[in-house]
Chains A and B, each alone.
Chain A
Amino acid sequence: MNNTILIGVGNEFRSDDAVGILVAREIRRRHLGEIRILEFEGNGTSLLDAWDGADNLLIVDAVNAAAPPGSVLRFDVSQSRLPVHLFPQSSHGFGVAEAIEMARLLHRLPPTVFFYGIVGESFENGQGLSDRVLKNIPDLLQMIEEDVHSFALH
C-alpha cells in the first residue's frame, strides 16, 4: 500500500473548528490499515514537513462556505487550488490553503491530495460541535474510508 497520511486541522477550543481534529481521532480509532494520522493546530508552514514523503495526503478541516452548516465538501487538490473563500478569516498568518500552494510551488506536494471540508456553524471559543456538523460526520467518515480503500487497491 502507498504511503498515506491524514491530517485533521483545527482548534479543539473553537467549537466547530474542532471537527478536523475529532475526525482524525475517529479515523485513528477505526484502524484503516497503514495510515498515518496527525492532529494539527498552528502554523501552516509546519504542514509541509508533516506530509513530507507521503504519496496520498488527506486533509480534514472546518470551512466557511455558502452552503448550509454541516455540508461536506471534497476537493481534489492535486491539480487545482482550493477555493480561497473557504478560509475568509484564517486566524493564522499562513494557513492550510497557503501551505498547499506553497508546497505545490516548491514541488513538495504529494501526488494525491484530497481536502475534505465540513461547513462550520460556530467558531466561537468553547468546546462542542453544533448539531448540524455532528449529524454529517458519518458521511464525511464514509467518504474518507472509500478514498483510503481506493488507495489500497492501487
Chain B
Amino acid sequence: MKNRVVKVDTLARVEGEGGIFVRINEGKVGEVKVRIYEPPRFFEAFLRGRDFTEVPDITARICGICPVAYQMSSVTAMEDALGVTVEGPLRDLRRLLYCGEWIESHVLHIAMLHAPDFLGYDDALIMARDHPDLVKKALKMKKIGNDLMIAIGGREIHPVNVRVGGFYRVPRKADLTKFLDELRWGLDGAVELTKVASTLEFPPFEYEYEFVSLTRPEEYPMIGGRFTSTRGINIAIKEYEFYFEERHVPHSNALHSVEKGFGPYYVGPLARFNLNFDRLTPRAQEVARELGVLPPVKNPFRSIIVRGIETIFAYEEAIKIIEGYTLPDAPSIAVEPTAGIGFGASEAPRGTLYHRYRIADDGQILDAKIVPPTSQNLATIEADLRRFAAAHLDLDRETLTWKLEQAVRNYDPCISCATHMVTLIRE
C-alpha cells in the first residue's frame, strides 16, 4: 500500500466527462487531480457579437440539467446592464421555474446518483431492483419538477419562454393550481426521502470550509442577493471579481476559482443551508431540526441530507408561489438596449452561477464572463480528495477508489458546465 495510484478514467454518475487521479507515494498523498476532458466550450466567445435578447436561449444550451440557472443568471445580468429590475409576480414566476429545476436536479442526484454510493450499489439499477417503491416514488417526484418547468418554461430541457425583462407568455392561475395536489404529494415524498437519506452512514469527514452563497434578507437564495461567506464576506454581485478569481490549471479544461488572498471555497447546498438556514420554509426547517441537521454542516458527505431539505423547501416554495399567484399585467417589462455592463448571479442546484456582460448601445454583446458552480468547487474537491486519501491510506484500492468517487459526487459536479476555454484567440 506504500506506492500506488488511484485512477478513475471516467467518473460515473456525474454530468459530463471527467476523471480523478490520486498518487500515493511512500505512504503519502502526492499528486491529486480532478481531470476534465470534456471538449472546451466556447460559449463566452460565442456570445460576443450576438444580440442581448439571445442570451437566455444561448446560455440555456450550456447545460441540460440546469438550463434555468443559466437563464436566470444571464437575464438578471442583462437587466442590470439595462437598468431595469423584474419584480412582483414575474419574479415569483422565475422563482417557481427555478423550484422545478431544483426539484428535478436534487431528486435525481439524491436517489439515482448519490444514494447508490452509500448503499454499496454500483448504480441506480441495483437500487431499483432492491427498493423499487422508493425509486418509483423518486421518479414521480422528479417528474413534478420537470412538469413545472414545461408549464412555465415551455419545455423541460432548454426552456424557451424566458426573456430579458420577463417571459414571452405567462401561465394563467389555473395552469398552475392544477399542480397543487401533486406538489403536496411531492412535499411529503421529499420529507420521506430526506429521512431515508439521514439514516445512511456518513464517513466522519469535517472541515472548516469557506462556504459562499447568495443571501437575501427575505428569502432562501435563488435569484440575486449579495454574496456572503463563512469568513464574513458580504458583497454586491458586481463586486464578485474583486474577491474571487479563476485560475487555469494544466490538467483540466475547467478553470479553478479561488477566493483572493485565501484559497478554495465551497458553493452549493451546504453553503446555502449554512448561511441561510433561517430563511428556509417552515417544513424544511422543522424536518432539519427533527433530524438534528443544523448549521453549520461541515461534512460534505452529508450534503445528500441537505439536498433533501432543499427539495422540501422547493416544493413548499412552489406551493406558496402558486397559491399567491396573480396574473402579471404583462408577460414582460419593456427593455431598450443601452450601452452598459451588467452582473447577475443565481443559485443553480449545485451552487452559485455568476454572469457578467458588456453590451454596446445597439444591444450587441461585447464581452461575456460565466463562472459556473462546478469550477468554483473544483479546487475544494481536489483538497477533499487529498484529505480523504491521506486519512484512509489503509483502505484497499477498490474501496478507496469508490470512496474518492463518492467524495466527488458530494458536489453533484456538472462537468459539462464547468469546462470552457481559458485563453481565447482574439481577433
Q: Which residues of A contact B (CB under 8 A)?
A: 13, 41-43, 45-46, 48-49, 88-89, 91-94, 98, 101-102, 105-106, 124-125
Contact = CB atoms under 8 A, between A and B. Distances in A.
A92 B128 contact: no
B-side interface size class: 20 to 34
B3 to A, nearest CB: 29
Contact of B39 (A46, A49, A88, A124): A124
B389 to A, nearest CB: 24
A125 B61 CA distance: 12
Interface stretch (B7-15, B180-188, B202-210, B232-240): B7-15
A93 B13 contact: yes
B113 A93 contact: yes
A98 B139 contact: no
Given A91-B38, A94-B113, A48 B15 contact: no
B298 interface: no
B259 interface: no
Contacts of A102: 124-125, 128, 135
Interface string B121-154: 0011100110010011001001100100000000
A136 to B, nearest CB: 25
Nearest to A88: B10
A124 B37 CA distance: 12
Contact of A91 (B16, B123, B143): B16
A43 B14 contact: no
A49 B104 CA distance: 14
A71 to B, nearest CB: 23
A98 B126 CA distance: 11
A43 B128 contact: no
Contacts of A94: 13, 108, 112-113, 124
Given A98-B123, A102-B124, A46 B129 contact: no
A42 B156 contact: yes
B17 interface: yes
Interface string B261-286: 00000000000000000000000000
B14 A105 contact: no
A98 to B, nearest CB: 6
Given A98-B123, A125-B41, A91 B136 contact: no
20 contacts: A41-B64, A42-B157, A43-B64, A43-B108, A45-B112, A45-B139, A49-B139, A88-B10, A89-B10, A89-B17, A91-B17, A92-B64, A94-B108, A94-B124, A98-B125, A102-B125, A102-B128, A105-B128, A106-B135, A125-B39
A125 B416 CA distance: 12
A89 B9 CA distance: 10
A88 B12 CA distance: 10
Chain A contact residues: helix, strand, loop or mixed: loop
A124 B38 CA distance: 10
Interface in B150-199: 156-157
A49 B143 contact: yes
B96 interface: no
B72 to A, nearest CB: 18
A106 B132 contact: yes
Contacts of B14: 93
Given A43-B64, A101-B125, A106-B136, A93 B157 contact: no
A93 B129 contact: no
Contacts, number: 65
B118 interface: no
Interface string B341-365: 0000000000000000000000000
A93 B117 CA distance: 14
Closest 5 CB pairs of A and B: A42-B157, A42-B64, A105-B128, A93-B13, A102-B128
B402 interface: no
A45 B143 CA distance: 9
Interface in B62-89: 64-65
B42 interface: yes
Contacts of A45: 108, 112, 139, 142
A92 B15 CA distance: 5
Nearest to A125: B39
B13 A125 contact: no
Contacts of A101: 125
A91 B16 CA distance: 5
Contacts of A43: 64-65, 104, 108
Contacts of B123: 98
Contacts of A48: 139
A102 B61 CA distance: 27
Contacts of B13: 93-94
Nearest to A39: B157
Nearest to B9: A89
Most buried by B among A45, A46, A124: A45
Contacts of A125: 39, 41-42
A49 B139 CA distance: 9
B15 to A, nearest CB: 6
A42 to B, nearest CB: 4
Given A45-B142, A46-B143, A93 B125 contact: no
A22 to B, nearest CB: 17
Nearest to B13: A93
A97 to B, nearest CB: 10
B410 to A, nearest CB: 14
